[in-house]
Amino acid sequence: MSPIYLDYNATTPVRPEAAAAMMPFLCEEFGNASSIHRWGQRARAAVEDARAKVAELVGGRPSEIVFTSGGTESDNLAIFGAVSDGAQVVTTAIEHHAVLNAVEALERQGTAVTFVRVGRSGVVDPCDVATAMRDDTALVSVMLANNETGTIEPVCEIARLAHGRGVLMHTDAVQAAGKIPIDVRALGVDLLSISGHKIYAPKGVGALWVRKGVRVRPQIFGGRHERERRAGTENVPGIVAMGEAADLARRELATEPARIAALRDCLERGVIERVPHVTVNGDPARRVPNTTNLTFEGIEGEALVIALDLQGISCSTGAACSSGAIEPSHVLTAMGLKPEDARATLRVSLGKQTTEADIARVLEILPGVVARLRAISPVYQKAAS
């Protein structure tokens, strides 16, 4: 049987259309987009076409899009570029490490950082964010959708509160782009990060939307690329592919998320019916359509991932960049899960290639795998006795 991939939140395969769009710019159309001759101008035209497509995916203007190397750089550019010395930053305890490690670096340099807690559902209370803000707050950064649970945060309400205090608002939308509609004007944010390889484009390309009038200090120095916001020769093939992927994702928002949500819900119902002592983590309604996060009492999540992989099913315990970490998920522990329960968790994230047959096969295999692991788990056996 063909292997089943259910780790789309870690990365997605490159769409054939995106791969086809980038191929000419790897070989025949190899010009530098900053050159003024015909080779350069064709590359520049392709970059600007892609910029317009990415802008349309998030409801922004092309001039507001800064191409980067990915979501991590976009988050870093937003945070380091917007925060001055002596200012405060407010964020949440469940952010991706691209945000958490960036603000912790600022904290080591003397910036005050406040980490707002979340409830058991994984949703941050906008009032808690408002309470955390001070007169010297420069930036609030709250992700739009959590990478581990899929929970959608109340970014619009938080942005309104931040702007009422004259504070800039950044959101990491890496796990939201292409899964739910995004309109930066309606959200009310000032900075928004997305990543190519989460929307079926190649790795190594991303974008930061910067609202017109907002200034970010560059973090990479060199030429005057990207309107002097991000130096370095543009990754033309990657940018072209990201533009094509963004355009296709936008066109499919009316149908694809609903199809995937139905499969996700079928999987959840089937697991709960077939496997005892399972908990779904995160808000059951306020989440992106492709993600479920399940705690299987009494087993190790990594052991479950390995056992499923041996059966041809690829999932994860959480963020790919945290694989192999000894500590339990910071997201789940921030939500109030005990460390042993956080370690007993499986993240399943669906995507374009996921089919009904895939879900049926997972439901056929997963209960037996869990039962075998629990049979050799002293923790589960003790709890069951």
Q: Which residues are catalytic?
A: 321
DSSP letter, residue 209: E
- Interacting residues of 370 by C-beta distance below 8 A, sequence separation 6+: 275, 296, 299, 304
Q: What are phi and psi of 89, to 5 degrees?
A: -120, 140
Tally of CB atoms within 10 A around 326: 5
- By three-state DSSP, how is residue 279 classified? strand
- Cα 273 to Cα 128, 212, 266, distances in angstroms: 37, 50, 11
Tally of CB atoms within 10 A around 319: 21
CA angle 215, 220, 224 (to 5 degrees): 70
Determine the angle formed by the axes of helices 38-58 and 236-252, rounding to 10 degrees: 30
- By three-state DSSP, how is residue 364 classified? helix
Give the separation between CA 301 and CA 343, rounded to whole angstroms: 6
Nearest to 201 by CA among 65, 30, 20, 46: 20
Give the separation between CA 65 and CA 336, rounded to whole angstroms: 37
Q: How far is CA 71 from the centre of its chain?
A: 8
- By three-state DSSP, how is residue 161 classified? helix
Which residue is it, tokens 């200034």? Answer: 215
The neighbouring-strand residues paired with 345 are: 295
Nearest to 8 by CA among 377, 348, 364, 361: 348
- By three-state DSSP, how is residue 371 classified? helix
